Amino acid sequence: MATSTPLNPGTPLDLARLREVRVNQPAVARRVAGLNGSRSVKKEYQAAWLVRAIQCMDLTTLAGDDTPGRVRRLAAKARRPLRGDLMEALGLEQLHVGAVCVYHEMVAEAVAHLAGSGIPVAVVSTGFPAGLTPMETKLREIELSVAAGAAEVDIVISRRLALTHDWAALYDEIKAFRAACGPAHLKAILATGELQTLENVARASWVAMMAGADFIKTSTGKESVNATLDVSLVMVRALREFCAETGQLVGYKPAGGISTARAATQYLALMKEELGNRWLAPDLFRFGASSLLTDIERQLEHHVTGHYSAAHRHAMP
């Protein structure tokens, strides 16, 4: 699990390539129906997939009442996401999540409590979740978070630029965010639930990757519609085509509304079938999740003991 992907250098904006992007919506619906209807794993195979889901999880707290104590507890959970008896029964010597995601105000606290763990701190930025702050403020916010120790920056795009098809302006915006990130990885949140059409989603994905995004991410988790399998299929196929044309690997992060172990395995199956095993590592795939870990823990305890426990026995910070 020690794999890492070089930063995406981006490519020049290719408007002709964007105009070629099309989405066959009936075909997307058929593919998603197949995922919903037939992808199920059991017993030790299910346990292995759920352990991988934990490794690819951005453990997140993005609330107005966040405190240093909550972040400290979140960091402890990130270091040790499963109880010791479950770890032993599953034959696991060590296990941790993919990252801890917080607001800027809590970056230094998270960095301090994750020191030496190898777990990166991700920060939401650029006026998250609406992205309606001045550009100068957005860039300074990124710079301050990276200076505080954030290794990953989850930016939000200006949705109006995608809705009005001002792809050049969107490219320039993300390119500026990429420059402000310096050595940190840039994760571009497209807020797909607000982009109205799957073609807008596909084209915004392409623009983000051309501009240097290291990850493309569905949602802030604050929209009325967050991650869905149809949007995810469109985005991962954009990833596949971009990699085929440029050789650059770009990661994917579905976020918002993924709260069950079954849903997690569906997304993992989608990644495996569309992109292959390489995209089943935390440097290329993440779940944006806060409650998902609880259900995964319950499923793993059932695998070990044969009994389901109450959710409160797997308390989150």
With contact defined as beta carbons under 8 Å apart, do 262 and 227 qualify? no
Q: Predicted confidence band at 314 (pLDDT cuts at 50, 70, 90)?
A: low
**Active-site residue among 154, 214, 230, 283?**
154
- What mean pLDDT comes out for the span 189-201? 97
Please give the CATH topology (third level) of the domain spanning 43-307: TIM Barrel (3.20.20)
253 is catalytic: yes
SS3 264: helix
Question: Could you read off the pLDDT of 17-67 as tens digits, one per residue?
Answer: 999 999 999 999 999 988 876 667 788 999 999 999 999 999 999 999 999
Handedness of CA 76, 106, 225, 255 (dihedral sign): negative
Question: Could you read off the pLDDT of 252-310 as tens digits, one per residue?
Answer: 999 998 999 999 999 999 999 999 999 999 999 999 877 899 999 999 999 999 887 77
138 is catalytic: no
In the chain, where are the structural domains located? 43-307
**Active-site residue among 138, 214, 253, 295?**
253
pLDDT of residue 311: 67
pLDDT of residue 36: 75
pTM, 2 dp: 0.94
Pick the residue with more confidence: 211 or 4? 211
Q: Predicted confidence band at 2 (pLDDT cuts at 50, 70, 90)?
A: very low
154 is catalytic: yes
Structure tokens at 101: 């995601």
pLDDT of residue 288: 86
**Active-site residue among 217, 230, 283, 295?**
217
Residue partners of 213: CB distance under 8 A and separation at least 6 = 8, 174, 178, 186, 187, 188, 250
